[in-house]
Structure 1
Amino acid sequence: MSNKQSQQRYAIGMVGLGVMGRNLVLNMGDHGFSVVGYDKEPSQVEALRKESADRDICGTENINDFIAMLRPPRAVIILVPAGAPVDSVIKDLLPYLDKGDLIIDAGNSYFKDTDMRTRHLTAKGIQFLGVGVSGGAKGARYGPSIMPGGPKDAYERVRPVFEATAAKVNGDPCVTYLGSGSAGHFVKMVHNGIEYGVMQLIAETYDLMKRGWGLNDDEMHEIYALWDKGELNGYLVEITSHIFSKQDEKTGKRLISEILDVAKQKGTGMWTSQSAMELQVPIPTIDLAVAMRDLSVFATERELASVIYQRSQRRFVGNRNLFQEQLGRALFAAIIITYAQGMALLAVASEKYQYRLDLEAVTRIWRGGCIIRAALLEDICAAFRAKHNLPNLLLDPNLSRKLMEHQEDLRQVVCQAAELGVPTPGLMVSLGYFDAYRSIWLPANLIQAQRDYFGAHTYERNDAKGAFHTDWEKGEET
């Protein structure tokens, strides 16, 4: 056996040994897979070497050595920031790769970029998978939710690795082949959009309890912990309860009070909103969540506006225990509505982009490992199992019953928030979407008339087919 052949012993490679990449390598090593990691930064390589004792793992900052140590046909995972860094890595790898080798982009790439890279690499004979990975650093280390898209045969090559390293729910791995092209990254994008929406809704309940009720951190810790034991059980509610009990090592105060009220974004929420608008699918709760992160950045302007528009802060004076229960039920209703918006977007995108998504499978792999995992996903899985082509979760008998049972709580909370002057736009727009979706009539006929009046855009009639135009100032229909 030649020296080159003896080197080619690693089953899979990882480019990018930051926290996510390094943890995923260690996860694969825990399950018996041989992995070689590559990073231009020596400190990242050294960190992997220190943490990978007793595993068949190697690290290098030399791309030639990295490629030489991979068994052909090679499989290389890229885990670097989305955008230009991904293209830069692909450019660096291409001179060393052969036809039949596989590149896997496991970052949060924009799905249209994934489609472009697929075309580029396919023309060179290189296979390409766009894979969404959710769960943060801990998920990468101990079991994330994995959302792969691309050629089915390419997925089959790495399926054993993904199934072993993914989170498990009742023994089932939280990974499945989703579809061709950019299916995996589109699903991950919508996952993140739902994540934006749910985080905004939870933040609004926090604001109501803090400014509307005057509760302290201990009380809020207890409430979120209580909610997590019931129908609101889920990762985001769980970590919220933990956040309120965390002490700041620097000041000795609760850490939450020392954190700036500005929340930025990396783009996936914005991409979800953009894609929904392109596909003409309304997702107002997710859109609002993106907008509120943007608004939070305007801290100086908000401070000026608070002086101009002063209003005494009102406190809730009713039965707090009753309203606490209503608030939790309102949050649950709004979360159902948020998931409904995200899944409706996936349903339309699946047809438009020919992903052929199995929405039951999508929600099934979200039950473990990922950021939006929640008990509610069991009901969502059941909804798509009962009707695989369900256009909107609000039409499911079980979920519609639950929403009807909670809608009055959502109305009461929105009214109370408006009276107190505490901003709850996510809860408000969720209620607005629900009321519009269930409305047999909407005032869009007036919008048609307005468009025809000022721009001769025509309108449709109830009593005849076709497009009509009226000279509104003369009152003559043509």
Structure 2
Amino acid sequence: MEQEKYHFGMVGLGVMGRNFILNVADNGFSAAGLDLDKEKVAALNSEGSGKKVKGTTSKEEFIDMLEAPRCVMLLVPAGKAVDSVIDDLLPHLDKGDLIIDGGNSFFEDTNRREKYLTEKGVHFMGIGVSGGAKGARLGPSIMPGGKAEAYDLVKPILEAVSAKVNNEPCVAYLGNTSSGNYVKMVHNGIEYALMQLIAEAYDVLKQIGGLSNEELHETFSKWNEGKLQSFLIEITAAIFTQEDPETGRMLVDAILDKAKQKGTGKWTSQNAMDLGMPVPTIDAAVTMRELSALKSDRITLDSIFDGAGTYPSVDKATFVDQVENALYFAFIMAYAQGMAVLSTASEDYNYGLNLETIAKIWRGGCIIRAGLLEHIRKAYDAKPDLINLIADSFFATEIKSIQGDTREVISLGIKAGVPLTAFSSALSYFDSLRSGRLPLNLVQAQRDFFGSHTYERTDMDGIFHTEWE
């Protein structure tokens, strides 16, 4: 008898790959998995018992199991590992087959790989997958980029496995070439910013407001029922209830204050600079992770400058409300920065991105999912060419009502010596954008003075230079 063919293939059966393939099977599609690690293959076959799933360590068997045109997804570490797997698979594939890179690959690598595989007659797509291991199993947000005809080959499967909001799949074709990986990169940049802002809110609530872990749990839980409703606020509330089995204390207090990173936030900052687009809150989040790594230096300097700030007295309930408004304000700025970069990149890289669609598929499954995204979706649906998210009437009204609390929280943090790098950057971003005049006329005068770089004038057209000395 002819061997049964499988609809979908997965290379890389770690937790993410294994959960994704089981999700595929739960949604009515048969799936084959490949991994050189026998234990990972055995885990898939065990967890997939009774489902249309089969794992193998043989790439020849794996390829032979797939129906034509083959759809093969890779969930392996970004970088050389992706190129290595592609080179291993390519001799066994036919023209018209599809390889999907589902990792956090740098978008320029995706452009290179698509060009290379197109020349071989094989489709290639880079797609962003967000939601962690749980999202991969139960429904992630998926950000596909590449040729539209390639997406059509796998569209039914991706729509079936994705998260759903109002019965709408959190996946949509985004654009050509590396658009999927680019959107995921910016998603992660926003994620960095939101996480840092939440950490800074926690810090001022604890140090200035004097909130206990129980009170922090109650505060974040309440916030998650209002305008800050989001996955990150939800898990933050839960973190404050986790006991450390080693000491019996709250686990959050035992965790070292050194944050690691895998590079996607840094890529967002670097590429935004290449595009000439300001993302100061994302920059600040990356900087704070780097500063956190200087633990021994910070301990030394803490002993030198102990008592640099003076803790102000605050009414706890009032302060909690002010911090909520400040965090909401900063969340808006973080999303605004990310959407502005996407808009510019879409034009510069010819992606053809639809910002309303991106906000729509971010509403569920992904790490930055939040109630706020429905308002963002509506803003870009009403005006696709919006100059900036903060120009939308809904957000403009919200900002006007909460900017005062934002300024107060930051002022109190400065007085207390509590670092609010991300909060301050968010406010400065807003203040700079809303300023019809910035002091950069002086910078231009300086540049012309020492380097004859010329300048423009406010009162006449043309390019000018002055002999200053």
Instruction: Give the TM bin, normalised by the shorter chain.
Output: over 0.9
Question: Is 2:422 aligned against 1:419?
Answer: no
Match of 1:346 in 2: 342
- Equivalent in 277, 281, 293 of residue 281 of structure 1: 277
Tell me the CA shift for residue 91 of structure 1. 1.2
Tell me the CA shift for residue 31 of structure 1. 0.6
Please tell me whether the aligned partners of residues 212 and 314 of structure 1 are also in contact (alpha carbons under 8 angstroms).
no
- Equivalent in 378, 384, 389 of residue 382 of structure 1: 378
Match of 1:246 in 2: 242
Q: Distance in 2 between matches of 1:22 and 1:121?
A: 26
* Shift >4 Å, 4+ stretches: none
Question: Is 2:39 aligned against 1:43?
Answer: yes
- Equivalent in 388, 394, 410 of residue 392 of structure 1: 388
- Equivalent in 323, 328, 338 of residue 327 of structure 1: 323
Change (3 A) 1:364 1:438: same
CA-to-partner distance for each residue in 1:10-52, whole Å, 9 max, x for gaps? Answer: 1110000011100000000001111000011111111111100
Please tell me whether the aligned partners of residues 102 and 154 of structure 1 are also in contact (alpha carbons under 8 angstroms).
yes
- Equivalent in 188, 191, 194 of residue 187 of structure 2: 191
Tell me the CA shift for residue 106 of structure 1. 0.6
State the Cα RMSD in Å.
Answer: 1.0
Matching of residues 427-446 of structure 1 within 5 Å: 427-446=423-442
Question: Is 2:360 aligned against 1:364?
Answer: yes
Q: Match for 2:265: what amino acid?
A: G
Tell me the CA shift for residue 7 of structure 1. 2.9
CA-to-partner distance for each residue in 1:365-415, whole Å, 9 max, x for gaps? Answer: 000000001011111011001101112101111111101111001000000
Match of 1:11 in 2: 7
Tell me the CA shift for residue 454 of structure 1. 0.8
SS for the counterpart of 2:69 is coil
Tell me the CA shift for residue 250 of structure 1. 2.3
Q: Distance in 2 between matches of 1:251 and 1:89?
A: 44
Tell me the CA shift for residue 165 of structure 1. 0.3
Match of 2:293 in 1: 297
- Equivalent in 112, 127, 132 of residue 131 of structure 1: 127
- Equivalent in 151, 155, 167 of residue 151 of structure 2: 155
Tell me the CA shift for residue 247 of structure 1. 1.1
Tell me the CA shift for residue 315 of structure 1. 3.6
Match of 2:170 in 1: 174
Question: Is 2:199 aligned against 1:203?
Answer: yes
Question: Is 2:92 aligned against 1:96?
Answer: yes
Question: Is 2:43 aligned against 1:78?
Answer: no
Tell me the CA shift for residue 67 of structure 1. 0.8
Q: Distance in 2 between matches of 1:252 and 1:169?
A: 39
Tell me the CA shift for residue 311 of structure 1. 1.3
Q: Distance in 1 between matches of 2:145 and 2:278?
A: 25
Match of 1:141 in 2: 137
Please tell me whether the aligned partners of residues 221 and 237 of structure 2 are also in contact (alpha carbons under 8 angstroms).
yes
Tell me the CA shift for residue 73 of structure 1. 1.5
Question: Is 2:21 aligned against 1:25?
Answer: yes
Q: TM-score if structure 2 supplies the norm length? A: 0.99
Bigger Cα displacement from structure 2, 7-16 vs 415-424: 7-16
Tell me the CA shift for residue 314 of structure 1. 4.1
Bigger Cα displacement from structure 2, 456-465 vs 276-285: 456-465
Match of 2:459 in 1: 463
Please tell me whether the aligned partners of residues 149 and 184 of structure 1 are also in contact (alpha carbons under 8 angstroms).
yes
Please tell me whether the aligned partners of residues 347 and 391 of structure 1 are also in contact (alpha carbons under 8 angstroms).
no
Q: Distance in 2 between matches of 1:386 and 1:73?
A: 39
Please tell me whether the aligned partners of residues 131 and 149 of structure 1 are also in contact (alpha carbons under 8 angstroms).
yes
Please tell me whether the aligned partners of residues 141 and 170 of structure 2 are also in contact (alpha carbons under 8 angstroms).
yes
Match of 2:58 in 1: 62
Question: Is 2:243 aligned against 1:236?
Answer: no
Match of 1:476 in 2: none
Q: Distance in 1 between matches of 2:85 and 2:302?
A: 47
Bigger Cα displacement from structure 2, 305-314 vs 349-358: 305-314
Q: Distance in 1 between matches of 2:212 and 2:394?
A: 36
Note the residue ranges of structure 1 that are not aligned, 5 or more in a row: 474-478
Question: Is 2:223 aligned against 1:227?
Answer: yes
Bigger Cα displacement from structure 2, 23-32 vs 250-259: 250-259
Q: Match for 2:65: what amino acid?
A: M
Tell me the CA shift for residue 464 of structure 1. 2.0
